[in-house]
Structure 1
Amino acid sequence: MAICPICNGFEEMKANCSSCGNELIDSGRIMDYYDDYSAYMPIDQMKMEDGYPNDYKDKECPHLLKCTVCGNEEVSLIKE
């Protein structure tokens, strides 16, 4: 089983907003925001239902990134 280096604290996320260029803040796995219990469901199961068709097969972890300046939100696929 592959693990996400961002979720597990091995690396830090560094990205800039595509709208204003300011630094984006990592808000964690996007699937944790789907409903009240999604954070407690098995990761591989959530990847089958998260709307990113290749993240399970390609071993990627979709993270929600937010800009604190302009409010832009982006999703970044992190290689596990």
Structure 2
Amino acid sequence: MYLCPLCNGMKTIEKTCPSCQGQMSDQGRVIDFFDDYSPYMEDEGMKWLDGVADSARRHLCIHLFHCPQCDYDIQIAIQERKGKW
């Protein structure tokens, strides 16, 4: 099983906004913003809809980062790690 280190609180990322140089915040997985039920859907199946062609095969979790100063958004691919529960 592969786990996203950001989703599971094992890691944090500090990202500087390319627009205003402000501090961006991680808003979570992009697929969670699709509709009311998407956070509850099976992860691997939803990866087909995240906009990255091979995110499931490459074990990438696409996160949305937002800048509260200028409202700039960017998507960042996070490498998932093999782990055990």
TM-score, with normalisation over the residues of structure 1? Answer: 0.95
Percent identity, aligned pairs only? 38
> Within 5 Å, which residues of 2 pair with 1:56-67?
56-67=56-67
Partner of 2:26: 26
TM-score, with normalisation over the residues of structure 2? Answer: 0.90
Is 1:39 the counterpart of 2:39? The answer is yes
The AA in structure 2 aligned to 1:24 is M
Runs of 4+ that moved beyond 2 A: none
Point out the structure with the larger strand share. 2
Instruction: Name the SS of the counterpart of 2:77 in structure 1.
Output: strand
**RMSD, aligned α-carbons:** 0.8
The AA in structure 1 aligned to 2:71 is G
Q: How many residues align?
A: 80
Gaps of at least 5 residues in structure 2 are 81-85
Gaps of at least 5 residues in structure 1 are none
Q: Which gives a bigger RCO, structure 1 or 2 (Cα 8 Å, sep 6+)?
A: 2
